[in-house]
Structure 1
Amino acid sequence: MGAFETLRIANTALGAHQVWLDALAGNIANANTVKRTSEDAFQATYVEFDPRGDGGVDVAGFAAGDPEGRMVHSPGHPLADEDGYVRLPDIDMAAQMSQLVMAQRGYQASVQVTKTAQDTYGAALQIGAR
């Protein structure tokens, strides 16, 4: 596998990890978004990936979380219904934080692969220049 092929594959991974990080950031930021019980809860975004036959990865699409969310008894909240309930998203913060670590590590690994491939290509050009 040549340096250009390595760069292309690492570039697809960088893009996919960035989309994943963005989705996770949105989910985490909205984990405590309160809605009226008559409204849909904030729906988490889940990224779906598709491996390429040539070694890269694509973002295949997005899946939305459950609009039902979860009902929480909070009678003092200004959005509470007559029974004192509000609707919160059904987001598992532990799972989101675990995925955030995985996405960050994957992004960092892709950056390192890109840097190494660039250094290798640069060294090869220097050999040819002598």
Structure 2
Amino acid sequence: MKLIPGIAISASALTAQKLWMDIIANNIANMNTTRTEGGGPYRRQMPVFRERLKEALEGGYRGNGVRVERIIEDDAPPRMVYNPDHPDADENGFVAMPNINIVNEMIDLIAASRAYEANVTVLNTSKSMALKALEIGR
């Protein structure tokens, strides 16, 4: 049994949100990458979050944090941009660009950042409550 489950739950959320922000940064950094090792343009990546459940002694379930289950690639088609001078242009002069929309990435970044901040607040509150409980127990 964990002494302070709120801290462990918040810590798992902080880890997941940081990974989400790293994925967003990677998407933004590769928004002009037209050729990857796989041969096509970079594809937007997204995390899939999964709640970690822990079976309680009473037979019920309780939350035990969150984790990134896997990272998936967006299956949206690439943006076709007319640029006949580009080395990756097809015979019609179109270049397959990554399926990344900077506005959507910034919205996701703001959401991840706010979730991260909220979990820092929960972590600090849990820590303060634990310290107060220790003071009361003296």
Unaligned stretches of 5+ residues in structure 2: 54-61
1:63 is matched by which residue type in structure 2? I
- TM-score normalised by L of structure 1: 0.83
Please name the residue that 2:102 is paired with. 93
Q: Displaced runs of 4+ in structure 1, greater than 6 A?
A: none
Shift of 1:95: 1.5
Q: Give the counterpart of 2:118 among 93, 96, 109.
A: 109
Residue type of the alignment partner of 2:101: D
- The 1-side partners of 2:77 and 2:136 are apart by 62
Correspondence for 1:30: 30
Percent sequence identity over aligned pairs: 37
Residue aligning to 2:51: 51
One-letter identity of the residue aligned with 1:58: R
Greater strand proportion = 2
Bigger helix fraction: 1
Q: Distance in 2 between matches of 1:81 and 1:123?
A: 66
Aligned position for 1:21:
21
TM-score (norm 2): 0.79
The alignment of Structure 1 onto Structure 2 pairs a total of residues equal to: 126
2:74 is matched with which residue?
65
**Contact 1:46–1:64 (CA under 8 A) maintained in structure 2:** yes
